Amino acid sequence: MPISLHNVSDTAKGYNDPAYWELHDMDFRWTDEQVAFRQRLRDILAAALPADWGEKSRYDTSSSYVSQFSRTFCPMLAREGLLIPHWPVELGGGGMDPFHHWILGEEMFYFGEPRSYQYMNVNWVGPAILQYGTEAQKREHIGRIASGEYIWCQGFSEPSAGSDLAALTTRAERRGDGYVINGSKIWTSGASLADYCFMLARTGGPGTHGISVFLLPTRMPGIDIRVVPSFMGQHSFHEVFFNDVFVPDEMLLGEQDKGWSIVRSVLHNERIGQPRYVLSMRVLDHAMNLLIERGEDSNLARSRAAQARAGLDSARWLAMGVIDRRAKKEPVDTSTNIARYALVTADRLVADFLCDFLHDDVVADIDPLISVGFRRTGSTGLAAGSAEIQLNLISKHHLLLPAVA
C-alpha cells in the first residue's frame, strides 16, 4: 500500500520528496520554508488535539463538540499566526502564498477539520468581504474572522435551486432603507452552529442578473433554522426559513442585482477549498491495515485499494495545479471543475471499497475513521456543486462541445 501522508519523512518515495512533484511546467517541490511550515502545523496539532480526538470528534466537522472546540482552537491558531497565513500582512495575515494555505488545509483535513466551519471563513467568506465589502463591513467582519471568533454558514441552495443555483426564488424586496426577505434555503451546512450567514436572494428579475448577496446574523428575527437529520453528520444539513426578515442596507454585499460575480468567485474557491483527498487517503490506509490484520487482504482487495489510491493521488495532482494557477495569479478556468470531478471519482472508489470489503464495519458505525470515510466519500458528488454540474461545465467550457437540446 502507498505510504500515509503523515508518515513520509523517512522515505524518498513520500509526498515531501522533491522529485515526487516534478511535472512538466509545474514544479511542486516544497521549499524549506514550506516543509518547516507543515512541521510546525503538525506540532501544533499534536499539542492541541486531545488524545481521544477521534472518539470525541468522530471527525465530524458539523458536530457540537468540534464546533465548540473550534471556538478555542481557532483563536489559538490566530495567535500563532496560523489561521490566515495567506492573507495580506496589513490584515493580520502572514502574506504567504496559496501553497501555504493549501498545506494548512491538508494538515487540518487529515484530522477531520478541527476548525469546524471556520475553514469557510478564511477560504472564501473573508476574501469575498475584502474584495467586495464596504469599509464598514470590513471593520465589522474581518477582525472577527481573522481572530477566529465567529462561525459562518452559506445560504445558497434552495428546494428548487440546488445545482442550478441561478433558479433561486428567495426574494429580498426593497423596503425603506433596507430589504424584507422571504423564502427558504436547504442543505445549509452548520447553520445552527453559525453566527452569520452569507446568503443569496433575488432582488431583480430571473436568471443570474437579479441576485444579490447579504451578510446576515443568524439570530435575526424571522429566521428559523431546523436541522435536517442525515448520516452525513450531527449538524451537517439544515433548512433555513426567512419570514419577513428586515435587512438594513449595510448588510448588502456589493451592488444590488450584481451578486453573481461574487458567487462565481466564491464557488471557485469552494470547489477546490478543501483537500478532501487527505482524509480519504488516511481512511483507505486504515481500511487496508484492518484487512491485513484480519488476514483478509486478498489480491482483489489490494488491487481495488491501489486503484482508489491512484485516483486520490491524481486528484491531489490536479488540485495542486489549481493552486499553482492561483499562486501565479492566472485567470480562473475549467481546471477547477476538472480537479473537482477527479476528487468525486476517487472518493467514490474509496466508498465502494469500504462497502465491498468492510461492509460490516460500515454498518456497525463503531470505527470513527471507517464511519467518516464512508460519510464523506459518499457526499463528494453532491456538496459544492454536483458531479453532473462539473461535467456540464467541463463539456461547455473545456471541451467546447455544443449544447444538446
**Beta-carbon contacts of residue 96 (< 8 Å; ≥ 6 apart):** 37, 85, 86
Distance of CA 81 to the CA centre of its chain: 21
**Beta-carbon contacts of residue 334 (< 8 Å; ≥ 6 apart):** 393, 394, 397, 398
Separation between Cα atoms, residue 86 and residue 102, nearest integer Å: 9
Closest of 119, 150, 73 to residue 273, by C-alpha: 119
β-bridge pairing 152-155 and 26-27: unpaired
Closest of 287, 269, 268 to residue 377, by C-alpha: 287
Whether 270 is a known active-site residue: answer: yes
Q: Spot the catalytic one: 33, 80, 270, 388.
A: 270
Separation between Cα atoms, residue 142 and residue 127, nearest integer Å: 9
Give the alpha-carbon dihedral of 76, 78, 81, 85, to 10 degrees. Answer: 130
Tell me if residue 13 falls in helix, strand or coil: coil
Exposure on the CB side of residue 146, measured as CA atoms within 13 A: 20
- Catalytic residue positions, numbered: 270
